[in-house]
Structure 1
Amino acid sequence: MLDTYIDLKDVRVTGYVSMGLIALVAAESIWGTINDWQGGSSSWSFLAIMLVVPAGVASIVWFRGVTHNAEAIALHGVRTVSQVWKASDPAQREVPFAQRVASPLIKPWQWAFLAMVLCDVFESLLLDTPFYVVFSTLSTLCAIGAGGLACFLVFRISIMQRRFAVPQRKRG
Structure 2
Amino acid sequence: MFGRVALDTYIDLRDVRVSGYVSVGLITLVAAASVWGTVNDWQGGSPSWSFLAIVLLLPAAVAFVVWYRNATHNAEAIALHGVRMVSQVWKASDPDQREVPFAERVASPLIKPWQYAFLTMVLCDVLESLLLDTRVYVVFSTLSTLCALGAAGLACFVVFRISAMQQRFAVPIRQRP
TM superposition score normalised by structure 2: 0.95
Counterpart-to-counterpart distance in 2, 1:107 and 1:48: 23
Letter of the structure 2 residue corresponding to residue 19 of structure 1: V
Identify the residue that residue 164 of structure 2 maps to in structure 1: 159
Once the two structures are TM-superposed, the CA of residue 2 in structure 1 deviates from its matched residue by 2.4
Name the SS for the 1:128 alignment partner.
coil
- Counterpart for residue 3 of structure 2: none
Find the partner of 2:71 among 25, 41, 66: 66
Partner of 2:117: 112
Residue in 2 that maps onto 1:122: 127
Q: CA deviation at 1:46?
A: 1.0
Cα offset, 1:170, TM superposition? 4.6
Partner of 2:27: 22
Pair member with larger Rg: 2
| 1:94 counterpart = 2:99 | yes
Q: How far did residue 171 of structure 1 move?
A: 7.8
Gap runs ≥5 in structure 1: none
Structure 2's unaligned 5+ residue stretches are 1-5
Deviation at 1:44, TM superposition (A): 1.3
User: Partners of 1:124 and 1:2 in 2: how far apart?
Assistant: 59
Mapped partners of 2:22, 2:81: distance in 1: 27
User: Matched residue pairs, number?
Assistant: 172
The C-alpha deviation readout for 1:65-117, integer Å capped at 9, x for no partner, is 00000000000000010000000000000000010000000000000001100
Say if 2:40 is the partner of 1:35: yes
Letter in 2 for 1:25: V
Give the Cα separation in 2 of the matches to 1:72 and 1:44: 42
| Offset, 1:42 | 1.1
**What is the RMSD computed on CA atoms of the aligned residues?**
1.1
TM-score by length of 1: 0.98
- Residue in structure 2 matched with residue 139 of structure 1 by the alignment: 144
> How big is each residue's C-alpha offset from its partner over 1:29-77, in whole Å with a ceiling of 9 and x where there is no partner?
0000000000011111111100000000000000000000000000000
Counterpart for residue 50 of structure 1: 55
In 2, the alpha carbon distance for the partners of 1:23 and 1:171 equals 44
Aligned to 2:84: 79
